[in-house]
């Protein structure tokens, strides 16, 4: 199920919003819908990207900032001398967190650690 929801960049499927910032994603969607290429001969008009609906998942930039805040806050409160049980629990939390992280690239990167 996770593979169907979170698309890999190399899968050739629709780009994942968790792997692309909203402005880039919105531009890609507009180009896909109109059939234009990024190298259009028409003059460039700077358009402000529309804001996503409130119930829309966050983009990669928002997700990254929130993840950084979460992980660094957890690290700040992690005991300097954790018990064996705390070490095992944190290892399990990081494995599970990285397994279900919405950005495929970041998910693999987290698992390398």
The pLDDT tens digits for 28-52 are 777 777 765 555 555 566 667 677 7
What is the predicted pLDDT for the residue at 55?
77
Let me know if residue 9 belongs to a domain: no
pLDDT range class, residue 9, cuts 50, 70, 90: very low
Let me know if residue 44 belongs to a domain: no
Domain range for 103:
15-37+52-76+86-113
Q: Which has the closest alpha carbon to 5: 112, 104, 110, 108?
A: 104
Is the pLDDT assigned to residue 103 strictly greater than 70?
Answer: yes
What is the predicted pLDDT for the residue at 14?
58
Contacts 24+ apart (CB under 8 A), 5-9: 5/102, 6/102, 6/103, 6/104, 6/107, 7/104, 8/104, 9/104, 9/105
> What is the reported pTM?
0.56
- State the total domains in the chain: 1
Let me know if residue 7 belongs to a domain: no
Let me know if residue 94 belongs to a domain: yes
Q: Which has the closest alpha carbon to 95: 108, 78, 111, 75?
A: 111
């Amino acid at each position: 199920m996770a593979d169907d929801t979170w698309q890999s960049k190399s899968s050739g499927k629709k780009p994942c919003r968790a792997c692309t910032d909203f402005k880039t994603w919105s531009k890609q969607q507009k180009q896909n819908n109109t059939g234009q290429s990024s190298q259009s001969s028409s003059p460039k008009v700077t358009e402000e990207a529309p804001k996503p609906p409130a119930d829309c998942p966050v983009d990669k930039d928002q997700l990254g900032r929130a993840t950084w805040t979460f992980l660094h806050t957890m690290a700040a409160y992690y005991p300097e001398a954790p018990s064996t049980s705390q070490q095992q629990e944190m290892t399990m939390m990081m494995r599970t967190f990285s397994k279900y992280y919405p950005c495929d690239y970041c998910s693999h990167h987290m698992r390398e650690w």
